Chains A and B, each alone.
Chain A
């Protein structure tokens, strides 16, 4: 089983749609969780951290379920500018490299007019 698994998509949605991405991770001792966004041929950029209590940043909502080892990202009222690849990222527990971010393959989102 891969350490971080995501549906690769692509997700093709119209402007204004609500879209949800899911991610599962295998290491139950993982300590921190993130969503990064990566535009074509660019570097990943931090979109938001993910907390057990859930967190929201404008149109974006992230949720973490530690019991199910499941992370989600919800994007409401999609904009054309949301088109990108969304990377689910996990920071493992102490014991290994503390900076070793583990990335999923990414889910590609394409928002159409």
Chain B
């Protein structure tokens, strides 16, 4: 059974940093691209970052480019999202998602990040 378990969320002040982790199980992690997607409270979904299976290439929308960094440790089956210079508009539930040829086919349960002073 595919499982994606996110950790690392919490309350952080504007301008500070936070690092999210996602531990994957139930599939061969290094065969899949992975992504992070977020959802602000009561709002829709926004793609945040993606990474190739090797970790050699990464992709971001302009809203987080230069502030967020996606990375992975294939030996530990773990995906990361380093978030710097956090803003109030980054407040959201962050989902770890597996990216297959079918799209974002598995989602974690999500982890809440609140940016507030």
Q: Are A and B interaction partners?
A: no
Q: Which residues of B contact A (CB under 8 A)?
A: none
Q: Which residues of A contact B (CB under 8 A)?
A: none
